[in-house]
Every structure is written in C-alpha cells, then in structure tokens.
C-alpha cells in the first residue's frame, strides 16, 4: 500500500514538474518569464539551454521574447550582455548599450572592452578608455583604438613603444596609414609626402599640412583630394597631412574661438621646406595668422579654400574687428587682390580723383572707361560704382571695414562672394585679378609668426635671426 502511494506521489510530482516546465517554456516564447522561473528551468530542466533558446528566438525573429530573455540572462552571461549591448547600439539607444557593455566588461568580455573604450574615446572620456584598453592591448582591435587615443592625447611615448606590435599585428592597413601620415620615427624629422596630384615646381605657394589626431589627418587627406579639382590646385602645392602631437603644439583657445597655437613647435621642426604651414585641430574657429593656417577638423572644402585664399592675398569681405589695422586709415598702397580701403568722400576734379583712386586699385585694368567709380554728391564726390552697373567690374562697397566709421572698403563686384560667406563660390573674376599680379600680396612665410612670438617673449636676438628666413614675396 505504501509503495503504491509513493509511486502515485512521484507521478504527481513528475506531472507537476512537466506542466510547470512546459508553462515556463511557454512564458519564454511569450516574453513573460520571470527571473525566478528562468532560474528554475536552468537548474532543473535538462532540455532548457538559455543560449540555445536565445539563438532560436532570434532565428524566429521573436525580438520581444529575445530581448526579455536576454535581459534576464545578461548579468550572468558575458556573451548575452555583449549581444544586448550590440542590439541597443545598433538601435541608437546609447545609454542602454553602455550599461550592457559595462556588464559584459565586468564578465571579462574583450570585445566589449574595446567597443566601450571606443565609445568613451568619442565622448572624450579618455582616461576611462585608457583603463579599459590597457589589459587587452594584445588584441589588434584594442591596439587600434589605443593608437587613436595616443594620437589624440599626443602620447608620443606610446606611439613609439608599441610601433613594432602594431606593425606585427593583422592591422597592416592601419599601420601603413599611420606610416603615410608620418606618425612614426623621429617626430622632428619626418618625410614630406606630396599628395596634391597637380604638384609641380611652378606652384605659386606651397603648404605643409599637420593634424593633431587621426580624424584630423584623415579629414586633411579628404580635403586635399577634393581640392585637386579646384582652380587653386594649379597654384597651391599641398603636402600629405603629417601628425604633430597636441602636447607639442600647445594650442590655447576655447571651442568656437579663433584657433591659436604656440609657434615653438615650428622653430624646432627643421625639415619643413614650405613657405606656409597648415594645422588641423579638433575644434575652434578657422583663420589664417600670417604664415600659418588653422582649421577645425569639421571645416569643409569651401572653408579650406577661403582660408587658402588669404595666403594668396585675398581679404575677408565680412566685417573685420574695429581695431583691425587695415581699416584704421585709407591705404597708402594696395595690400590685397580684392579689397581697397579709402576715404569715401573726395573733392576736386572728377578726372583727377578717378585717376588718383584707380592708382590704388589692383583690378583697375579690368574697369571699363565707361564704368563710373565716383558718384556726385552735393559737395564733392563719393567713391562708389552705382548699382546700375552691378554687372560690371567697379568699386562696390564691401563690409570689410563696416566697424570703422572713418574708412570704407571696396571690392571689384557687386555680388557677395566666398570671401564674405563660405557657402558661396569663389568668383572666376578673382582668379583673373590674381593672375594680374600673383605674387604681389602673398602673406609672409610662417617664420614671421615664430619671429613675432620670440620678440613678445623677449628673445630679441633669436627673433632677429628668424627674420632672416622670412619670405615676403
């Protein structure tokens, strides 16, 4: 009797077990299973394997069920935590992705460490990225991210110390890319590689480009490739971008401010053979300071061309600062291809005034005799070509010196140009004007910047020595 009761009890327990497990499996498919129920299946159901269940759910495209089960399983499975992170990352749910990458990292998932370090890198959380990468540097993908980080931070020691490891890894294309950017070797004596396909010894000016991180180097290469179809490409030689450490360059500007960097780096770099230097940094406002051009790595081709035009002798047609030296008084001699600065009011003979004014205008030979450059006032004459001649070459008001009431700037054409708005085109007429006197208004070479800054530091003798290297024409 007792035996029969025992058998009956076992049968009831087994039946209950099978009903329970079947119900819990159904809950998996319906995305309603609880953590406790899943633990029961994993502990007691021989036929339930969570990894296999997840694979099957994904195969059957039961996303909600997969997501529900994976969320329960992820904190005890590095593989599942990583899959969840990848899912959220692919769906642009970055906060959730980071949480699951972190869970996978705690469970020693190498790829999760690499992916999270890369996210931290672009969030500028450099120290956190470095902590994640150090234990896994033997992984080629981790080493790639670590190099991006080292380039960003100007860590020349890391760049040199791990060079052989990178060269021996499977990342041969990445290693060669860094070689092409002159990242390795003596940082003061890098090979200069000409990238401009139109390069020839007859270029009007030449510029060596540098960048302080990998994105900047890549952006510089893209700019040059696009630039090769611009008319300026026949006049300007550009070198393939070379790496320079941000720690060496020591830029000192806030985001949105005009980019400004120390010139000591160029004084110590003995292998620069160009007249000008161009620098691409992570952020800041693009500008040309005498012989050095500064670019934000987000600047496009039109900004690039605008800044290059300053080297050639073109001046901005938007309002310059009130104290800008070119707007303080009427020019004594021409100083730019596209702008003249004059007193707006004149008195006397129209013919004599016209002759005197045109002597100051670089594009005077393109102004027709029939095109007015003066407008009659109650007393005397006002410099200005009337709007009725807007399709002619003349003297049209420019905004360059609008902040200064005592002078007025004039430009050759009525229409707005790229010298005022980056989005506009560079006029063909300006290229014609440039050809009239191509070397007349070139910026001084980058040595001028070094000499000026040495003088500010009280290094007068060194400043004088540097003056000997300056090219003004």
CATH at 157: 1.25.40.10
pLDDT at 442 over 60: yes
pLDDT at 29 over 90: no
Please give the pLDDT value at position 258.
93
Q: Lowest mean pLDDT: which of 69-73, 192-196, 317-321, 409-413? A: 192-196
Do both 452 and 421 map to the same domain? Answer: no
Nearest 5°: the CA angle 32, 37, 39 is 130
Q: What is the mean pLDDT of residues 310-314?
A: 97
- Domain presence at residue 45: yes
Do both 160 and 200 map to the same domain? Answer: no
- Domain presence at residue 110: yes
- Domain presence at residue 431: no
Mean pLDDT of the chain: 86
Do both 290 and 349 map to the same domain? Answer: no
Q: What is the mean pLDDT of residues 129-151?
A: 96
Distances (CA, A) of 360 to 331, 356, 473: 8, 7, 19
Query: Within 13 Å and on the Cβ side, how many CA atoms surround 240?
Result: 15
pLDDT at 23 over 60: no
pLDDT at 43 over 60: no
Please give the pLDDT value at position 281.
95
Do both 191 and 305 map to the same domain? Answer: yes
Please give the pLDDT value at position 253.
86
Do both 450 and 414 map to the same domain? Answer: no
pLDDT-derived band at 197 (thresholds 50, 70, 90) equals: very low
- For strands 381-383 and 345-346, give the pairing: antiparallel
pLDDT tens figures, 421-435: 999 999 999 999 999
Which tokens go with 417? 């140009």
Q: Lowest mean pLDDT: which of 40-49, 99-108, 265-274? A: 40-49
pLDDT at 54 over 90: no
Please give the pLDDT value at position 188.
40
- Domain presence at residue 435: no
Long-range residue pairs from 430-433, CB within 8 A, at least 24 positions apart, any chain: 430/309, 430/314, 430/337, 430/338, 431/231, 432/366, 433/337, 433/338, 433/362, 433/363, 433/366
How many Å apart are CA 394 and CA 371, to the nearest integer?
7
DSSP 228: T
pLDDT-derived band at 80 (thresholds 50, 70, 90) equals: confident
- For strands 408-411 and 340-342, give the pairing: antiparallel
Structural domain boundaries, residue 36 = 2-170
Do both 164 and 140 map to the same domain? Answer: yes
Which residue among 115, 144, 170 closes a domain? Answer: 170
- Domain presence at residue 433: no
For 218-253, b/e burial (b = at least 16 CB within 10 A) is bbbbebbeebbebebbebbbbbbbbbbbbebbebeb
Which tokens go with 448? 């001028």
- Domain presence at residue 320: no
Question: Which residue, chain included where needed, has tokens 């950017």?
Answer: 181
Do both 245 and 197 map to the same domain? Answer: yes
Q: What is the mean pLDDT of residues 28-34?
A: 54
DSSP 197: T
Question: Which residue, chain included where needed, has tokens 């600047």?
Answer: 299
Which residue among 170, 203, 218 closes a domain? Answer: 170
**Edge-to-edge strand order for the sheet containing 408-411?**
340-342, 408-411, 396-398
- Domain presence at residue 434: no
- Domain presence at residue 260: yes
How many Å apart are CA 28 and CA 405, to the nearest integer?
78
Please give the pLDDT value at position 17.
43
pLDDT tens figures, 330-349: 999 999 999 999 998 899 99
Do both 52 and 185 map to the same domain? Answer: no
Domain tally, the chain:
3
Phi and psi angles of residue 260, each rounded to the nearest 5 degrees, phi first:
-145, 135
Do both 106 and 197 map to the same domain? Answer: no
Which tokens go with 7? 């058998």
Question: Which residue, chain included where needed, has tokens 């005890």?
Answer: 76
Question: Which CATH number fits the domain that encloses residue 473?
Answer: 3.40.50
Please give the pLDDT value at position 68.
73
pLDDT-derived band at 190 (thresholds 50, 70, 90) equals: very low
More confident site: 199 or 263:
263
Do both 21 and 158 map to the same domain? Answer: yes
Q: 466 has which bridge partners?
A: none
pLDDT tens figures, 210-257: 999 999 999 999 999 999 999 999 999 999 999 999 999 999 888 889
Do both 417 and 385 map to the same domain? Answer: yes
Do both 190 and 233 map to the same domain? Answer: yes
| 211 close to 243: Cβ distance less than 8 angstroms | yes
pLDDT-derived band at 34 (thresholds 50, 70, 90) equals: low
Q: Lowest mean pLDDT: which of 46-50, 152-156, 454-458? A: 46-50
More confident site: 88 or 189:
88
Please give the pLDDT value at position 200.
52
How many Å apart are CA 290 and CA 313, to the nearest integer?
10
pLDDT-derived band at 134 (thresholds 50, 70, 90) equals: very high
Which residue among 144, 170, 196 closes a domain? Answer: 170
């Amino acid at each position: 009797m007792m035996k029969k009761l025992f058998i009956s009890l076992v049968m009831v327990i087994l039946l209950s077990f099978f009903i329970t497990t079947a119900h819990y499996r159904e809950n998996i498919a319906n995305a309603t299973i609880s953590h406790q129920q899943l633990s029961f299946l994993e502990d007691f159901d021989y036929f339930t394997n969570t990894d296999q269940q997840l694979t099957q759910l994904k195969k059957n495209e039961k996303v909600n069920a997969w997501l529900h089960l994976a969320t329960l399983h992820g904190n005890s499975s590095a593989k599942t935590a990583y899959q969840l992170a990848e899912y959220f990352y692919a769906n642009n749910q970055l906060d959730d992705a980071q949480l699951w990458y972190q869970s996978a990292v705690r469970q020693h998932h190498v790829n999760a460490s690499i992916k999270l370090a890369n996210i931290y890198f672009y969030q500028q959380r450099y120290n956190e990225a470095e902590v994640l990468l150090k234990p896994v540097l033997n992984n080629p993908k981790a080493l790639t991210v670590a190099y991006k980080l080292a380039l960003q931070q100007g860590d020349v020691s890391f760049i040199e110390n791990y060079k052989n490891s990178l060269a021996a890894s499977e990342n041969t294309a990445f290693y060669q890319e860094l070689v092409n950017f002159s990242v390795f070797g003596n940082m003061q004596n890098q090979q200069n590689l000409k990238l401009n396909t139109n390069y020839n010894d007859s270029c009007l000016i030449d510029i060596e480009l540098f960048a302080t991180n990998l994105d900047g180097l890549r952006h510089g290469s893209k700019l040059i490739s696009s630039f090769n179809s611009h008319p300026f490409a026949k006049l300007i030689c550009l070198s393939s971008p070379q790496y320079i450490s941000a720690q060496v360059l020591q830029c000192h500007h806030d985001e949105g401010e005009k980019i400004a960097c120390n010139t000591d780096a160029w004084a110590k770099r003995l292998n620069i053979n160009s007249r000008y230097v161009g620098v691409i940094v992570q952020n800041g406002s693009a500008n040309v300071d005498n012989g050095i051009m500064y670019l934000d790595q987000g600047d496009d081709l039109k900004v690039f061309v605008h800044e290059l035009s300053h080297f050639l002798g073109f001046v901005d047609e938007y309002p310059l600062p009130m104290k800008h030296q070119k707007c303080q008084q009427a020019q004594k001699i021409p100083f730019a291809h596209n702008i003249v600065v004059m007193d707006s009011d004149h008195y006397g003979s129209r013919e004599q005034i016209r002759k005197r004014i045109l002597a100051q205008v670089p594009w005077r030979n393109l102004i027709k005799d029939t095109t007015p450059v003066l407008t009659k006032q109650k007393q005397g004459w006002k410099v200005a070509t009337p709007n009725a001649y807007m399709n002619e070459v003349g003297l049209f008001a420019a905004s360059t010196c609008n902040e200064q009431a005592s002078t007025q700037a004039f430009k050759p054409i009525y229409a707005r140009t790229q010298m005022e708005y980056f989005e506009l085109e560079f006029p063909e007429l300006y290229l014609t004007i440039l050809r009239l006197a191509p070397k007349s208004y070139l910026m001084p070479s980058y040595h001028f910047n070094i000499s000026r800054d040495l003088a500010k530091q009280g290094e007068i003798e060194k400043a004088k020595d540097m003056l000997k290297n300056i090219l003004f024409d």
